[in-house]
Amino acid sequence: MSEPAERREQVDPLPPRETSVLYGHAAAERALLESYRSGRLPHGWLLAGPVGIGKATLAYRMARFVLAHSESSSPGVQRAISLQVDSTHAVARRIAAQAHPDLLILERTINEKTGKLHQEIQVDDVRRTVAFFGSTAAEGGWRVAIVDVVDELNKSGANALLKVLEEPPRRALLLLVSHSAARVLPTIRSRCRVLSLRPLAAGDVARAAAAAIARDPGDPSVISAAAAAEGSARRAVELLDADALDLRERVVALLDALPAIDPRALHAVGDRLYGSDPGTLAAFVDAVNAWLTVRVGSGRQDPAGLDRIAGIWQRFNQAASDVDTFNLDRKPLVFNVFGWLAEAWRG
């Protein structure tokens, strides 16, 4: 039975610049606070961890705190037990409004030709950091840049950022968010302090997701989504907002039945993916990838079987990326991956 309409209503979660609560990363937050309080804050930080666990939220908390407390030796900093800045504070309000002159945000922008996000952060945007850090802070304190995410820099963009990291001016802070530290250029990584964040516990996922979409963390659907989200609050929100938890469960059931294939059921899944809603496609891709991860980790496949699965994994994710990028029909993707897997399981 489908959920009532009011349960399926999508709610846009607050972006990190407006999110005031951080879940599950007290140790990482404490490391940033203690470093700042010591007066020996590294100019570059690489905040690394899986997608949707709160890395950008932590980066914004640090930016707000530093811009609100420009002197690390001040009593407010020395007494602080977290990076929390009241949402009514002038700095917090200006950051939420994207209007703070001493905070620069580098992220992917909309491609005016396609109406979609660029695949990479544009190099011209990265070059703005040179002028930004080369000028005096508008309010006499720190200048802070957040790169969300640094994985989305191309080679030219990474080299432009490297110039700032190599010769940072006084009171400059760069917070680089990364979904995979291994993908960051070693030259950039070596000039940052790496702070690794772990996936969230299911309880923290539930609380974060519920707060993002104004739901009760004890709601059974929130709990189910949190359990399926593999430590990512963003993934839990996607499952809930796109009515994708039921889709995920149906896909997993069909995958568990392999090598048997039910064409009618696959048509039904393909129909649910129809259109351009990124949430349903993401839920389908996530369900297949999560299921493959479990199969690989089960130890039930021989080396040849593992090679076949790895090939399918790569082939499937490339096909899914093409479907998303070029807005292709999604139903063939469903039939293709099930066909590939059925053939692989038959050996």
Rounded mean pLDDT, 247-256: 92
pLDDT in tens, 19-76: 989 999 999 999 999 999 999 999 999 999 999 999 999 999 999 999 999 999 999 9
pLDDT at 1: 30
pLDDT at 276: 72
Rounded mean pLDDT, 188-206: 96
List the one residue out of 267, 270, 281, 265 whose CA is nearest residue 323.
281
pLDDT in tens, 1-22: 333 333 333 445 779 999 989 9
CB 219 within 8 A of CB 226: no
CATH topology for 16-196 is: Rossmann fold (3.40.50)
Beta-carbon contacts of residue 16 (< 8 Å; ≥ 6 apart): 56, 57, 59, 60, 148
Which is it for strands 172-178 and 143-148: parallel, antiparallel or unpaired? parallel
Q: pTM value? A: 0.79
pLDDT in tens, 141-180: 999 999 999 998 988 999 999 999 999 999 999 999 999 8
The whole-angstrom separation of Cα 207 and Cα 197 is 18
What are the structural domain ranges in the chain? 16-196, 242-346
CB 79 within 8 A of CB 210: no
Rounded mean pLDDT, 288-296: 82
CB 334 within 8 A of CB 284: yes
The whole-angstrom separation of Cα 261 and Cα 244 is 21
